[in-house]
Amino acid sequence: MPPADAVDVHQHLWPEAFISELRRRQSPPMLRGWTLFTAGEAPFEVNPADHDPAVRRLEDPEFGRRLLSLSSPLGIEDLPPDAAEPLLEAWHQGLAELSQPGSPFRGWAAVNHRAPDLDRLSRGFAVDGLVGLQLAATQLATPAAIERVGPVLRRCEQANVPVLVHPGPVPATPATPPWWPAIVQYPAQLQAAWWAWHVAGPSLFPELRICFVAGGGLAALQHERFEARSGQRTTLDRNAYVETSSYGRQAVDALTRVLGIDAVVVGSDRPYAAPTDPQLGAAAWRAITVTNPNRLLQGTKTCE
């Protein structure tokens, strides 16, 4: 059982205004009733209870803070700015309503990838209490891509807020099972983003804290192959974290052996999975649910 001050850094919960905007759209991403249509994945039947704040409060009462993110595989951030604006506005407005005093919910900001509004982003960090920014892994796929998205990352670094790297949209892949994107394409995106950050991130943004969901696609476990093929030694970035969604004891134990316990934080990806205790002991559990998430969110100053 996590302590009451535990943090789940990665959940999804759609505010009512956001759902309404998805239903207004005439092309993906869009909702028809509760069926979700995206450009690359098969239609998905959404459970309405999964986006009911009252239901979600009952699911993880032991987590005092649950950080909500706009799911990048929807493709909203990649839409033309005029098309993305109503959805992004509804997302941030809904987060503000869900993040009232006493609520366990806080949220990650999102920006249009084509024309990010950096001034509005900064105002959101200062006024709306957003914890940081979600970016799609597809925006960080190479060292050059990290340089291109540099103005957005720099604004987060200057505001002293972290970045959450989430899988992005995937191309349609016929004749594959429904789980294919989550098991094959999402981890591949995260692995590319992890290694691109390893090459370019710390030197360009030495104070930026960054967290890769789903264990960063387990990219860090490739460190021996990296050293064998590159002739370089792996170096740890004290500001780079991975979260645990959809992974259990074996994967989390392996990640801590490579990165150390300080780099691991709990994320569940609710409603698609639940928080998982990797059974590494009480001290490790407190580290990944309280100490490390607070360091990710606030830097060296924590809320313990």
Instruction: Give per-residue pLDDT as tens, 4-23.
Output: 689 999 999 999 999 999 99
Confidence of residue 236 (pLDDT cuts 50, 70, 90): confident
Contacts of 77 (CB under 8 A, 6+ apart): 70, 84, 88, 110, 111, 112, 113, 136, 168
In 113-219, which residue ranges form alpha helices assigned H by DSSP? Answer: 118-123, 143-148, 150-159, 180, 186-204
Instruction: Check pLDDT > 70 for residue 2.
Output: no
Instruction: Give per-residue pLDDT as tens, 83-129.
Output: 999 999 999 999 999 998 889 999 999 999 999 999 999 998 887 77
Longest distance between any two alpha carbons in the chain, whole Å: 54
Lowest mean pLDDT among 124-133, 233-242, 260-269: 124-133
Instruction: Check pLDDT > 70 for residue 301.
Output: no
pTM, two decimals, is 0.94
Domains present along the chain, CATH in parentheses: 6-298 (3.20.20.140)
Q: Classify residue 151 by its DSSP letter.
A: H
* Main-chain phi, psi angles of 47, to 5 degrees: -85, 115
Contacts of 302 (CB under 8 A, 6+ apart): 291, 294, 295
* Cis status of the peptide bond prior to 271, with omega within 30 of 0: yes
Residue type, 165: V
